[in-house]
Amino acid sequence: MSSSRLSATRTDEMREQFGERLRESVNLAPYTSARIGGMVDYLLIAKSAKELEEMAQQLWNMDMNFRILGGGSNVLVSDRGVRGVVILNQARKVAFDETSAGPRVRAESGASLGSVSRRSVDRDWLGLEWAATIPGTVGGAVVGNAGAHGGDIASSLEVAEILQQNRKPESWRVERLNYGYRDSVLKNVPGSVVVLEAAFRLKTAQESLAKAKLAEFAAYRQRTQPGGASWGSMFKNPAEKYAGRLIDTAGLKGLQIGGARVSTKHANFFLNLGDASAADVLRLLKTVRDRVDKQFNVELELEIELFGDWDPDEIEGVARQIDGNA
């Protein structure tokens, strides 16, 4: 996990390989839901699943570290940024089909999950109505088994197109993803798998049922969750408990460090009040985690991912840090 910039030779190679598509030293904050994060050395934007596949293969062939960024709604990007390459996934094609086995949606992985959900609901299709208000892309949701209101990706996905180094894309049926609560086999191998597409098998519902459910879920969110720049839930719910309730009972609602604050509406949501740094958020995360541990003897596990170039000492003890480098 070095914070040194890449060599001039590597930069020349990258320029030669990607030409005008290559952007250098790009601020990642605008590409995240919390609007926080430092600079990435190189940014590439994939506009189709084919382009995403080609970029990933080229980078693997060059032995260049890279990570995919979807909606940036489940990552805390370090103030020091990300070394190597980030591919911003804007592959957004979606196809809706009525098949003999029922309705089916096939989406490129950079499509907005919320939009895929709403467009399915507009057709009175059931199966993704729980996802209408979840930010981010289909790819991010497939990796993290996003879920809400009793639904999740594990219960809706049929198959995902997965790319790995030195292989052609493979169709992985849902069982192979080994889904758990906000967990999958893909989550534990960042940088070495790319979700290209996903297909969901849905059901035709009686008219307006899917729309009514979506409206109910949206109203619930409006009532219980804050607006503003955030990540949604910061911590996973421990077995048979709610992280938000533990944080609330520990008296931590409204706790603020720098520009980061524990929401007063939902204690498992942290907000960037405008000028929070990733370091502020990390300090707040640690403080909340320590206080909950002291009071209830429960070690909260991060739901979000610490992404990019973090100092190992700084993040020690914070559960989910997957990979120091891009």
Ligand X SMILES: Cc1cc2nc3c(=O)[nH]c(=O)nc-3n(C[C@H](O)[C@H](O)[C@H](O)COP(=O)(O)OP(=O)(O)OC[C@H]3O[C@@H](n4cnc5c(N)ncnc54)[C@H](O)[C@@H]3O)c2cc1C
3-state secondary structure of 229: strand
Nearer to ligand X (CB atom), residue 38 or residue 136: 136
70 binds ligand X (CB under 6 A): yes
The H or E element spanning position 82 is strand 82-89
305 binds ligand X (CB under 6 A): yes
Give yes or no: 92 in active site: no
139 binds ligand X (CB under 6 A): yes
247 binds ligand X (CB under 6 A): no
326 binds ligand X (CB under 6 A): no
Q: How far is the CB of 294 from ligand X (least distance, A)?
A: 27
Nearer to ligand X (CB atom), residue 68 or residue 300: 68
Give me the catalytic one of 182, 184, 261, 305.
182
29 binds ligand X (CB under 6 A): no
Q: Which residue has the tokens 């297909």?
A: 199
71 binds ligand X (CB under 6 A): yes
144 binds ligand X (CB under 6 A): yes
Closest CA to 74 of 25, 141, 27: 141
Give yes or no: 182 in active site: yes
89 binds ligand X (CB under 6 A): yes
Q: How far is the CB of 300 from ligand X (least distance, A)?
A: 16
103 binds ligand X (CB under 6 A): no
Binding-site string for ligand X from residue 167 to residue 186, where x marks contact by CB under 6 A and - marks none = --------------------
Cα gap 163→165, rounded to integer Å: 7
Binding-site string for ligand X from residue 261 to residue 300, where x marks contact by CB under 6 A and - marks none = ----------------------------------------
Laid out side by side, the sheet with 270-272 consists of 256-257, 260-262, 270-272
Cα gap 147→32, rounded to integer Å: 19
Q: Please, which residues bridge with residue 39 across strands?
A: 27
Q: Which of 69, 107, 267, 285 binds ligand X (CB under 6 A)?
A: 69
Cα gap 195→108, rounded to integer Å: 9
Give yes or no: 119 in active site: no
Give me the catalytic one of 233, 261, 277, 305.
233
DSSP secondary structure string for all residues of 103-137:
EEEEEETTSBHHHHHHHHHHTTEESSGGGTT--SB
Q: How far is the CB of 318 from ligand X (least distance, A)?
A: 16
Q: Which of 84, 103, 136, 308 binds ligand X (CB under 6 A)?
A: 136
Q: Is residue 274 exposed (0-12), middle (13-18) or buried (19+ Cβ within 10 Å)?
A: exposed
Give me the catalytic one of 108, 129, 161, 303.
303
Cα gap 139→229, rounded to integer Å: 21
Cα gap 295→224, rounded to integer Å: 25
Q: Which of 66, 125, 217, 231 binds ligand X (CB under 6 A)?
A: 231
Segment interacting with ligand X (CB under 6 A) among 18-26, 130-138, 205-213, 276-284: 130-138
78 binds ligand X (CB under 6 A): no
DSSP secondary structure string for all residues of 280-325:
HHHHHHHHHHHHHHHHH-----BSSEEES---HHHHTT-S-EEES-
Cα–Cα separations (whole angstroms), residue 200 to 128, 132, 162, 228: 8, 14, 15, 30
Cα gap 93→91, rounded to integer Å: 6
The site that binds ligand X (CB under 6 A) totals a number of residues, namely: 32
Cα gap 154→257, rounded to integer Å: 36
147 binds ligand X (CB under 6 A): yes
Residues that bind ligand X (CB under 6 A): 33, 67-75, 89, 109, 134-137, 139-141, 143-144, 146-148, 190, 193-195, 230-232, 305
Q: Catalytic positions, please?
A: 182, 233, 303
